[in-house]
């Protein structure tokens, strides 16, 4: 009986999560009708759930009438989840040290079922046109995302790559994965250059004790401010940070990062 009950679950909790997930996908407050559409609910049902979600602090009413955003309780839950990640304090300190050493933007990213999530960032002295942010980040067009493509099984990244590369020719995913894997294998890091947007990023792996990718630590800047040469001071500082964090997590730093 217990197993049957556990499988059945609580439908209202799952519906509330759909609403919170809809709000999480947006960088700004959403009107109720958009939240209802994203949650696959009627506006009236969404409104009823919103009363309880606002009351608990998981959702907040925005200054713009009829619009809602994630509330302080959601922020507190997110921060607690980050704090509970194994080794997060270690990599957070490395991000701060890396930013101070290079004066470039620095960040740490972890993998989730929804894709790569930037957990912590430090802005550099010179910002690129693309704003650094925490939360979900692109997989294909960031160095951290490219690192996960190189290290994870194809089944974990293929769907997200397809969403970010609509209409791509057959074999594009395999070519992207091979490019990322070769760069990581040969250099110990991955890079993305977007000269059209004034954006450059480079990411190095932080391995756990099981030899799996735990975090990606990144530098972000512009072509004029961030040198991604393998023998450049910025990349050397990045690889040193990744090696220290890897050892601190009980992992084995590769010869490229040690």
Q: In this predicted model, what pLDDT tens digit does every residue of 77-106 receive, in sequence order? A: 877 766 666 688 889 999 999 999 999 999
Q: Are strands 213-221 and 59-61 parallel, antiparallel or unpaired?
A: unpaired
For residues 100 and 214, state if they share a domain.
Answer: yes
Whether 256 maps to a domain, the answer reads no
* pLDDT in the model for residue 85: 62
Q: Are strands 59-61 and 30-31 parallel, antiparallel or unpaired?
A: unpaired
| Domain end (from 27, 53, 77) | 77
Which residue reads 């507190």 in tokens?
76
pLDDT, tens digit, for every residue of 123-153?
Answer: 988 665 555 566 889 999 999 999 999 999 9
Token pair for residue 157? 């990244």
| Domain end (from 50, 77, 104) | 77
For residues 97 and 209, state if they share a domain.
Answer: yes
Confidence tier at 2 by pLDDT (50, 70, 90): very low
Q: Cα–Cα distances in Å, from 49 out to 10, 11, 19, 230?
A: 14, 12, 8, 53
pLDDT, tens digit, for every residue of 148-178?
Answer: 999 999 999 989 999 898 877 778 888 999 9
* pLDDT in the model for residue 3: 45
Confidence tier at 26 by pLDDT (50, 70, 90): confident
Domain span holding position 44: 2-77
pLDDT, tens digit, for every residue of 177-190?
Answer: 999 999 999 999 99
Residue 117: give its domain's CATH number. 3.30.450.40
Whether 253 maps to a domain, the answer reads no
Whether 73 maps to a domain, the answer reads yes
For residues 178 and 71, state if they share a domain.
Answer: no
Query: Domain tally for the chain?
Result: 2
Asked if residues 40 and 19 have their Cβ atoms less than 8 Å apart, the reply is no
pLDDT, tens digit, for every residue of 213-243?
Answer: 999 999 999 888 899 999 999 999 999 999 9
| Domain end (from 23, 58, 77) | 77
Whether 211 maps to a domain, the answer reads yes
For residues 169 and 50, state if they share a domain.
Answer: no
């Amino acid at each position: 009986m217990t197993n049957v009950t556990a499988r059945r679950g609580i439908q209202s909790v799952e519906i509330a999560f759909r609403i919170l997930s809809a709000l999480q996908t947006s960088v700004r407050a959403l009107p109720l009708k958009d939240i209802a559409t994203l949650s696959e609910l009627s506006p009236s049902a969404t409104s009823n759930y919103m009363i309880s979600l606002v009351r608990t602090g998981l959702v907040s009413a925005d200054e713009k009438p009829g619009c809602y955003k994630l509330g302080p309780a959601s922020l507190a839950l997110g921060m607690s989840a980050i704090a509970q990640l194994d080794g997060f304090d270690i990599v957070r300190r490395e991000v701060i040290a890396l930013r101070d050493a290079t004066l470039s933007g620095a960040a740490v990213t972890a993998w989730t079922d929804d894709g790569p999530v930037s957990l912590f960032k430090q802005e550099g002295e010179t910002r690129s046109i693309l704003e650094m942010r925490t939360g979900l980040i692109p997989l294909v067009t960031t160095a951290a995302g490219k690192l996960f493509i190189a290290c994870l099984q194809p089944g974990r990244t293929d769907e997200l790559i397809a969403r970010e590369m609509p209409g791509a020719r057959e074999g594009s995913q395999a070519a992207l994965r091979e490019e990322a894997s070769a760069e990581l294998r040969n250099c110990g890091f991955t890079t993305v250059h977007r000269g059209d947007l004034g954006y450059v990023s480079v990411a190095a792996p932080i391995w756990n004790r099981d030899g799996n990718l735990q975090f990606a630590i990144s530098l972000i800047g512009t072509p004029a401010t961030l040198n991604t040469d393998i023998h450049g001071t910025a990349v050397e500082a990045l690889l040193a940070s990744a090696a220290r964090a890897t050892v601190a997590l009980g992992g084995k730093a590769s010869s490229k990062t040690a």
